Chain A
């Protein structure tokens, strides 16, 4: 169950993030292309690839407008016979679901590996959805590394499997692994695949007649996928004493390993690192057990597959049974409790409670001006619906501003403002960042244009994707206005406002003026993010 390694003499080993390990695994598998939309905790995968590209790697690594576009780029690369990596956070896969599911049907040429970073515990996300379920939904293999070393190894292996089965392979990561530094030993890189167009056409054109045949082929592959996992070295059984077994997946193994020295005897253990679930392995493992505790981070994905696989006498324990909490991350504390180990004595502060230190907008942040203006607008006009979106500016929901009513998913502010206005909740104001607007705000804006909906859209343009660390947006500021105008918003109600703390009154007046207009208005509030400006100046000097 060894997790970390010291550098063995003479081998190429480095201290790196799990995210770095995925990047290097893909690079060493000979990828030609990589596409991504930033999202914590996946962002550093791509940051590493971009650094490698700048240092002379031949890989084409492009930030994309959204995850769907990113995934489609990878399908195109595969059509060209090249290997491609796509990275995103878990909710990004909801956006990329269409190409992801359908890519499983076409006759891939170069391998496609999709690295998805789940965020159990919601450290920086709006939900804790489990991407293993989505790989299952698409009927493709899912690899779940437990360590940064496995992240490297499994990413490389995923390309081989993707090409053998001609389906994308999902590498499922979790926050703790993405952002964990440990020693990773790399292996010599493979050269990129030659340009070679994949065919034939009837394997790529998903007309119903073709799609029915390809769907049949994908279903027929399911058993092959499972059989490969029955024999995989990533799915290991370790014998132990007693009849209470432990099944771990991914990082769950590490928490088991942590508490193991405190147990009187080592229980029988089965670790699963690759899906679809190797059912024969599970069946054989469970044959003599009275109970099986499932340690998996995320949903009770394996736990739910166990009834019918394990003998009826074998009690299934996990996140669904209540042996572990259904929500949040696994950790040593809840895993100890699941094994019935006594809780550790914890120090506490006798100051009754330590007050929270919530994240806040930086001093000098442009969003402060926008929200100060919105507060005046709210004071004067009352609140209808102020729909927010995803980015640093989501913090406008917290004190001292409390100036947005919602934050649901990327781009939702505009569609929701339209719906709220249609329903009669006015004034309806949508607040969205420039990167989020490009990601998925344009289609709902077109809907609002089509009906000249009585609403006002504030696009907060800080010239960067700030919250994830300042990735460039798909279009620079200078091209944002032509996009808005080109979509067909009435130019009389489109404004570019260059923000300044001294111009808060003026901005409030402009917003009120456009709210008074009984139709669609767009105000782009522009000033560079102070963090991005700092980075840029550092770069320039």
Chain B
């Protein structure tokens, strides 16, 4: 049992936080885990990428090799597209659809989404609207996290437990919104089968 995941988004979206929480949930579930990321210049509204590998066997490479991701988790549609080369044949995509246009030459969003829909396994989620409905637009990353988590071969509830623990440091409202957003993300996936490499 193993799963290789690449997460992509824009600096400030909480991509690294989610990658870390997923890794903690998997470690807590008894898996070998390696999770890598790049900080630094990329945090200033630039492109951000994180890797997360889980396996019941020891893991070697710190990064998911290009062409090997079982799951590509996008927090922003253009960033999902930027990282498409990581996706394995038959790999799954979960992506938010709201564009963050903090750059010159952002292509028309319809074109970006059409491109993503070419992948039959892509699940496009209006994470922004879902997060708003869950009570906080800032919980968008947790909607995506909830969706991604339910596609991983992990014990249901593990991520929620990790988030709850983390939320002890947040305001009550933030914590509640995150938990609700996780559930909303899971619901958005429906009953899709987990990925496995």
Contacts and interface: CB of A to CB of B under 8 A. Distances in A.
A258 interface: yes
B36 A176 contact: yes
A180 B65 CA distance: 15
Given A333-B65, A344-B65, A357-B46, A351 B58 contact: no
A348 B85 contact: yes
A40 B111 CA distance: 36
Contact of A181 (B20, B42, B66, B103): B20
B78 A357 contact: yes
Among B23, B24, B45, B119, chain A packs the most CB atoms within 10 A around the CB of B45
A354 B24 contact: no
Nearest to B103: A357
Contacts of A254: 60-62
Taking chain A's interface residues, is the majority helix, strand, or loop, or is none over half, making it mixed? loop
A395 interface: yes
Interface in B20-41: 20, 23-24, 27, 30-41
Given A254-B62, A354-B78, A4 B115 contact: no
Interface string A245-262: 000000100111110100
A2 B84 CA distance: 30
Given A183-B32, A331-B65, A357-B10, A349 B60 contact: no
Interface string A144-177: 0000000000000000000000000000000111
A312 interface: no
A124 B10 CA distance: 16
Contacts of B65: 258, 331-333, 336, 344
A182 B35 contact: yes
Interface in A411-446: none
A179 B38 contact: yes
B41 A124 contact: yes
Nearest to B72: A347
A359 B11 contact: yes
B104 A399 contact: yes
Interface residues of B, number: 53
A61 to B, nearest CB: 20
B155 interface: no
A350 interface: yes
Given A124-B41, A348-B84, A360 B63 contact: no
B180 interface: no
B76 to A, nearest CB: 9
Contacts of B144: none
Nearest to B53: A4
A180 B41 contact: no
B45 A360 contact: yes
B34 A354 contact: no
Contacts of B43: 359
B102 A357 contact: yes
Given A357-B10, A359-B41, A15 B36 contact: no
Given A355-B105, A355-B107, A359-B41, A346 B67 contact: yes
Interface in A331-373: 331-333, 336, 344-351, 354-362
A40 B44 contact: no
A255 B24 CA distance: 24
Contacts of A346: 66-67, 85
B194 to A, nearest CB: 20
A290 to B, nearest CB: 26
Given A348-B84, A349-B84, A331 B34 contact: no
B75 to A, nearest CB: 13
Given A5-B58, A360-B46, A180 B35 contact: yes
A251 B66 contact: no
* 8 pairs of A and B residues whose beta carbons are closest in the complex: A124-B40, A257-B60, A344-B67, A359-B46, A332-B65, A40-B40, A258-B61, A359-B44
Interface of A: 1-7, 15, 40-41, 44, 123-124, 175-177, 179-183, 251, 254-258, 260, 331-333, 336, 344-351, 354-362, 392, 395, 399, 467-469
Interface of B: 10-11, 20, 23-24, 27, 30-47, 58-63, 65-68, 78-79, 81-82, 84-85, 87, 89, 102-107, 111-112, 115, 118-119
Given A179-B38, A333-B66, A350-B115, 18 more contacts: A4-B32, A41-B40, A123-B38, A176-B62, A176-B63, A180-B35, A181-B34, A254-B60, A344-B68, A345-B89, A346-B66, A347-B67, A357-B45, A358-B46, A360-B44, A362-B44, A395-B44, A468-B40
